[in-house]
Structure 1
Amino acid sequence: MNCIELRNVVKRYGNVTALNNVSFAIECGERVALLGPNGAGKSTTLKLIVGLLKPDSGEVLVKGLEPISIQARRIIGYLPEDASPYLMLTVRENLEYIASLRGVDNVKERVNKFLELLALKPYERNRVMSLSRGNRQKLSLALALIHDPEILLLDEPLNYLDIPTQERIISLFNSMTNATILVSTHIMSIAGRLANKVIILSGGQVVWQGNISDLRKFGEENEPVESIVARLMESVR
């Protein structure tokens, strides 16, 4: 079954076409990287899937439902690129509030789990406005995960995080064996750590999609995957 499907999607911002006839499908349980340079349409794609935007034409489906449906919204966890938790609330208050809105059972137990998991326990009584960018990012990740979503949409999830924290987050995602994950990034090495399939966007179009390992078929022996991707993206400019 497809958990995410885009059919001939077009999205414009005024005279700018952000997505131009984009189609792809992601089966439930797959881990897919949405790869491309800045401005390729990655964030727009995620916002369409989560229901924050509507396509100008085409169709976006989440398990066969419109993204704005209550059923679809319940099963999605979303981390935007510039996530903004409630700045005047504390870390714990943010987590407890969102967990309650999401209908999480045993809210305090769930909140405590993520405070420990993401090393936020020392900051639980701090207002978000006082946190570093890295700790805000960790809180935003916890907010996306607090309700144990079936589908996880991640826009540059490792931004602002130091290397040890990145490794901890990658291990966390890789432990979520039943979740469908779509991660947007412009860094090939991150794509390779978090996904085994890739959809490459450039100029609002799908350049290539398939297994990451198959990308090497398009390059010379020992050529870095990053340069192969760059050449594919260049082909539609």
Structure 2
Amino acid sequence: MNCISVEGLVKSFNGVRALDGLTFSVECGDSVALLGPNGAGKTTTMRIIAGLLKSDSGVVKVCGFDVIKEPKKAKACLGYLPEDAAPFMNLTVRENLEYVGLVRGLSNIKDAVEWVSQTLGLNGLMSVRPSSLSRGNRQRVALAMAIIHRPKVLLLDEPLNYLDIPTQENVVELLLSMRREGTTMLISTHIMSVAERLTNRVIMINRGRLVWEGSISELMMLVKPGERIEETVARMLKEA
């Protein structure tokens, strides 16, 4: 069963086509890296899947629900960390988490807030407003808001942005544990080491079109002698 299904996605901005018939799917339980150069359409794709942006044409389903026809059911399955995510600056960290828990209809918000704050090391920041936090700490709060309801499907757009090395490692371990628990993930990242650790499949897009898809092991087989995997990806995107 596919937990994410994207079929024939088209989106233009001011006459410029950002997505051009993009089609792919992510099976439930899979963790997939979405790769492509700047301007390839990765963030646009994420926003459409999350139901925050409407496509010009095409169909997107999350957990079997059409994001246009059944948006509430589709969004109930989702957690989304956008690129350059920003919590509500006029609320404290605790109020941000409690608000998301309320919107998500959690039965025990207190326990959910305690779990996510402990998991991401936010306990000492709960009474602070995000406007007073570093960009890295804001990223941790935004990630906490994305996972507080333990979603079936998690969309992550550059999840390690702004994080220092120890925090990056903690977040990677958290996402690995969620993957082991069956969370389906679509991760947009430019860091190949992250893709190799967190995902089992790769989807490459460029100019809004699918360039290549396959397993991490299949991608490794395409690496030429003396070539780093980042160079392989760049070459494949350039040749597409």
Shift of 1:39: 1.1
State the Cα deviation string for residues 4-62 of structure 1 (Å, max 9, x = none). 11111111111211111111111111000001111111000111111111221221111
* Structure 1 stretch displaced more, 214-223 or 146-155: 214-223
Tell me the secondary structure at the aligned position of residue 61 of structure 2. Answer: strand
Shift of 1:104: 1.2
Counterpart position of 1:219: 223
Shift of 1:219: 2.9
Distance 2:149 2:176 in 1: 17
Shift of 1:64: 2.4
1:28 correspondence with 2:32 = no
Shift of 1:112: 1.4
Could you tell me which of 205, 210, 213 is aligned with 2:209? 205
Counterpart position of 1:80: 82
* Structure 1 stretch displaced more, 225-234 or 57-66: 57-66
Counterpart position of 1:118: 120
Tell me the secondary structure at the aligned position of residue 21 of structure 1. Answer: strand
Q: Which amino acid aligns with 2:127?
A: R
1:156 correspondence with 2:158 = yes
Shift of 1:223: 2.0
Shift of 1:116: 1.5
Which 4+ stretches in 1 moved above 6 angstroms? none
Write the mapping of 1:186-205 to structure 2, written as runs, cut at 5 A. Answer: 186-205=190-209
Distance 2:236 2:89 in 1: 41
Distance 2:160 2:175 in 1: 12
* 5+ residue gaps, structure 2: none
* 5+ residue gaps, structure 1: none
1:233 correspondence with 2:237 = yes
Counterpart position of 1:46: 46
Distance 2:53 2:12 in 1: 11
1:108 correspondence with 2:122 = no
Distance 1:160 1:82 in 2: 9
Distance 1:205 1:10 in 2: 10
Shift of 1:201: 1.2
Contact 1:35/1:187 (8 A) holds in 2: no
Q: Which amino acid aligns with 1:86?
A: F
% identity of equivalent residues: 52
Tell me the secondary structure at the aligned position of residue 53 of structure 1. Answer: coil
Distance 1:196 1:164 in 2: 23
Shift of 1:222: 4.5
Shift of 1:98: 0.8
1:133 correspondence with 2:140 = no
TM-score when normalising by structure 1? 0.96
* Structure 1 stretch displaced more, 130-139 or 56-65: 56-65
Tell me the secondary structure at the aligned position of residue 221 of structure 2. Answer: helix
Tell me the secondary structure at the aligned position of residue 58 of structure 2. Answer: strand
Write the mapping of 1:169-184 to structure 2, written as runs, cut at 5 A. Answer: 169-176=171-178, 177=180, 178-184=182-188
The number of residue pairs the alignment matches comes to 236
Contact 1:38/1:186 (8 A) holds in 2: no
Tell me the secondary structure at the aligned position of residue 172 of structure 1. Answer: helix
Distance 2:55 2:90 in 1: 34
State the Cα deviation string for residues 169-196 of structure 1 (Å, max 9, x = none). 1111111121100000122122112101
Tell me the secondary structure at the aligned position of residue 194 of structure 2. Answer: helix
Shift of 1:67: 1.5
